[in-house]
Amino acid sequence: MTGSVRYVPKLKSREEIEYMLNWIPRVLVPADERTRWSTREYARGGTAVCRWILGLDAASPVTQKRLGQPVTCDDARHEGYESQVAMAQGGYPAVSPPLPPLSINFLNGVDDWVKWATGSPNGFHSPDDWPFPRETPPRP
């Protein structure tokens, strides 16, 4: 397979996630003040992911699990999967005891920012003026 690149999950650096946490409310939300509530919920999902990965929130954004340890790449990817499951179930996380439903836009934000934080080519993409090096795919 010429030109194909295998995605190897890896959490972004703490500094880059902290920068994103500050970027979201400064750039994404004010730019959409005149728009719908949906953008705020999407940004809230991204903020929740960043805060959780950085250890600022103990409970994960969708399942509300408390790990008691630093978040790993696999933990983050699993929470992204749980956000997809909840979206398929009308916003209800697949946990017991049941949790109240979450907005689809919040869940979509969680999913997109988990993909960003784990280096997936899908999901949220850093802006053009991002001050961190971009991972470039290896050449075949």
pLDDT at res. 140: 47
136 pLDDT above the threshold of 60: no
Q: pLDDT of 19-29, one tens digit each?
A: 999 988 876 66
- CA torsion sign for 13, 15, 21, 25 is negative
Percent of the chain with pLDDT over 90: 55
For 84, other C-beta atoms within 10 Å of its C-beta total: 15
Q: Is 10 in contact with 73 (CB distance < 8 Å)?
A: yes
pTM listed for this prediction: 0.84
Residue 65 buriedness (CB in 10 A; 0-12 / 13-18 / 19+): middle
Alpha helices in 56-103 (DSSP H): 73-88
pLDDT at res. 30: 55
pLDDT at res. 2: 52
Calpha distance 5→21 (Å, rounded): 28
The region, left, alpha or beta by phi > 0 then psi within -120 to 50, assigned to residue 43 is: alpha
Q: Give the end-to-end CA distance of the chain in Å, rounded to a whole number.
A: 9
Q: pLDDT of 78-124, one tens digit each?
A: 999 999 999 999 999 999 888 999 999 999 999 999 999 998 888 88
